């Protein structure tokens, strides 16, 4: 066999090729080891770190709505009352016992407990209303009632003041009666003549030196005429 046949059959050449191949493999392995911890084995993807995302900001908290109190009503509070006998409506103070008139007043004797009076019983006071047809003007009707009252109930002469009740001319009277239903008693009246009828509103309460009763003022301020 020839010693040289192109390197394919010489034993020395084959051994040399094996040595070169082994050396190349060792060099390749060393190169791979020196590439650092970032190198991964075959078939494994290197982990990637996602860039930090934008920081989520909490939405501004909505302010709680401020409760607004409703405007105070200018209307008096209490019980609604309508008088079928004397043609008016009014707001009666709360916690008041009400007894409506069952008949009309004849213009004679006055009794605040009678069925011809609208009666309102409060805490330490009573208010009542009555009315009667009249041909007298307001001043004459007032004088007639004062004359009867001073002769039969209270000798003290009243103070007088002009006023209005729901737009109708009226007169306020204040009597300080020494022997009324409360002993010394304030008798406060408001009298109007309207459409041929005289209507008398009266309050009675213990006499403390005042000229009027607050509950009476409230009632008079709420009066509305509803008919003749």
Kindly state the average pLDDT of the residues 165-188. 95
What is the band of 15 on the pLDDT scale with cuts at 50, 70, 90?
very low
Over its C-alpha atoms, the chain yields an Rg (Å, rounded) of 55
Superfamily name and number for 79-225? Mog1/PsbP, alpha/beta/alpha sandwich (3.40.1000.10)
Which among 207, 150, 206, 142 has a CA at the least distance from the CA of 173? 142
- Could you tell me whether strands 88-92 and 125-133 are parallel, antiparallel, or unpaired per DSSP bridges? unpaired
Termini Cα distance of the chain: 156
Domain residues of the chain, as ranges? 1-34, 79-225
Q: pLDDT tens digits for 134-164?
A: 999 999 999 999 999 999 989 889 999 999 9
In sequence order, the 6+-apart residues with CB closer than 8 A to the CB of 228 are: 87, 195, 196, 197
Q: Which residues pair with 119 in a beta bridge?
A: 99, 128
């Amino acid at each position: 066999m020839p010693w040289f046949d192109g390197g394919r059959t010489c034993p020395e050449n084959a051994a040399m090729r094996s040595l070169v191949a082994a050396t190349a493999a060792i060099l390749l392995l060393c190169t791979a080891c020196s590439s650092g911890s970032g190198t991964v084995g075959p078939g494994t993807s290197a982990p990637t770190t996602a860039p930090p995302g934008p920081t989520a900001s909490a939405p501004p908290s909505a302010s709680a709505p401020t409760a607004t109190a409703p405007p105070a009503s200018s209307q008096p509070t209490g019980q609604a009352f309508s008088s079928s006998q004397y043609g008016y409506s009014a707001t009666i103070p709360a916690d008041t016992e009400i007894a409506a008139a069952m008949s009309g007043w004849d213009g004679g004797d006055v009794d605040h407990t009678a069925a011809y009076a609208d009666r309102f019983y409060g805490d330490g006071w009573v208010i009542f209303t009555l009315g009667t047809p009249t041909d007298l003007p307001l001043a004459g009707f007032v004088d007639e009632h004062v004359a009867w009252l001073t002769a039969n109930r209270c000798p003290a002469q009243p103070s007088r003041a002009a006023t209005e009740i729901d737009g109708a001319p009226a007169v306020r009277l204040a009597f300080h009666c020494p022997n009324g239903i409360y002993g010394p008693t304030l008798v406060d009246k408001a009298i109007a003549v309207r459409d041929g009828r005289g209507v008398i509103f009266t309050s009675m309460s213990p006499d403390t030196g005042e000229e009027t009763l607050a509950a009476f003022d409230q009632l008079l301020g709420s009066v509305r005429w509803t008919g003749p």
